[in-house]
Each structure stands twice: as C-alpha cells, then as structure tokens.
Structure 1
C-alpha cells in the first residue's frame, strides 16, 4: 500500500462516522487515529506488496478501530518523542485520544487497534 491512499481512507472513515451520527469531537479523534495507524502501517511494514486493512465497528458502547497488515512480527512500541525529533508521535497521539489501544496477532497478520467509548445521551425520563 502506498501513502497516497491515506487521504482517501481518512475520508472514508469520516464519512462512515458521519453516517453513524457519531459526534464531531469523537469523529475527529477516531479519524486522526485512523490516519496515524494507517500511516504507521504503511511506513513501518517490511513486507513487499502488502495489503493494509482498516476496519471500524461498534462493539457495545465503543467504536473499535483496527488497522491490520501482514508484517506480523513488527509490533509497534509506544515512544515518547523528544522535542527535537521530527517523527515518532503517532502512536503516542493514538494512546492519548483512545480509551485503550493494543495489538493482536492473527495467523498471518497483526492488528493494531484503538477503542473509543461512545458517549451516551443522558436519560430524560
């Protein structure tokens, strides 16, 4: 996958969240996190001609964002970038925006995921 596809993927994520009527603030956080995780997968994947998949789903009271690639042994590590470093803040940003994040091994791939709690409207009964 090529980084030129990231803007289109980001737009599709945003369109999906809008269709699901997710509030703008949460949609911003999920969209930015999707951009970061997808960009990381493209930049750091060591496999040639790999497919990167992005999935968003609702599970219980949360949105689950998953980015999967075939470089199953290259597990991302949270890094606190120094002030003079030009890169290295993506996963830290995702960790701050999401309610939780992690990785999951699959048979031939790895998945980096982030979970975002959906705020529920107060009951007016």
Structure 2
C-alpha cells in the first residue's frame, strides 16, 4: 500500500523543521535520508527562489521499500545546479548530498513551477 504526505507551506527557515517533523511522523524513525533531502531541497528554494515562496512537499512511500520525495516551487527558471564546493565554503554541497543518498533524482518543469524530486531506499 502506498501512503502519501502532502504539505503546502511557505519556504521559510522554520518550515524546514516542520517538514522534518512531519516526515518523521509519516515515515517513522528510519527517515533520516528523507529528512536530509527535504531539508536540502527546501533550503535551495529559500536561497535561490526566495524566502516566502509557496512550496509543496510530497512524500510517497510504498511497500517496495522506496520513498519518493518531491519539492515544488513557483520558479521554473531557477534550476538546481550541482557544484563542487571548496573545503572552506559553507554552501554548495546540497545536491552532492542528495546525489549521495538518493537512488536517483531529477527535475520536472511545469508552465509555472518546477519540481525537484528524489527516490530513496527506506532505512
């Protein structure tokens, strides 16, 4: 059976904590990778689209041991770019972290939105 969590909120720093808490409530204790990816994707919206942008976080878990996580924002032109951060930089590692823990990830553009998604193995 597939279960879906849908959260509609504003991309502000406090929302990261809310999403992490709701993921734990929905997925249970073994959701560290999902929490990490959601935090990174939501932080990217705050940084690159702007604080206060409306976002939708969708998480679907199935009996196949996989979790699908997606963050949708209203800016289709602000595409994520994986970069290599220098050792002393405080930013620039989010997509590398996502790539390291996800089975796969990608971006879907809509006419007035963009969705960054990833697929994870349940812990």
> By the TM > 0.5 criterion, same fold?
yes
Structure 2 residue aligned with 1:66, among 70, 73, 76?
Answer: 70
The runs of at least 4 aligned residues of structure 1 exceeding 4 Å deviation read none
Deviations 1:39-84 (A, max 9, x none): 11121105x8531111101357321100000011110011111112
5+ residue gaps, structure 1: 120-125
Higher helix share: 1
Q: Whose Rg is larger?
A: 1
- 2:47 corresponds in structure 1 to 43
- Structure of greater relative contact order (alpha carbons < 8 Å, 6+ residues apart): 2
Give TM-score, length-normalised by structure 2.
Answer: 0.82
* 1:52–1:4 distance in 2 versus 1, CA, 3 Å: same
Matched, 1:96 2:100: yes
Q: When you count strand as a share of all residues, which structure comes out higher?
A: 2
TM-score by length of 1: 0.80
Ranges in structure 2 where 5+ consecutive residues have no aligned partner:
1-9
Instruction: Please give the root-mean-square deviation of Cα atoms over the aligned residues, in Å.
Output: 1.9
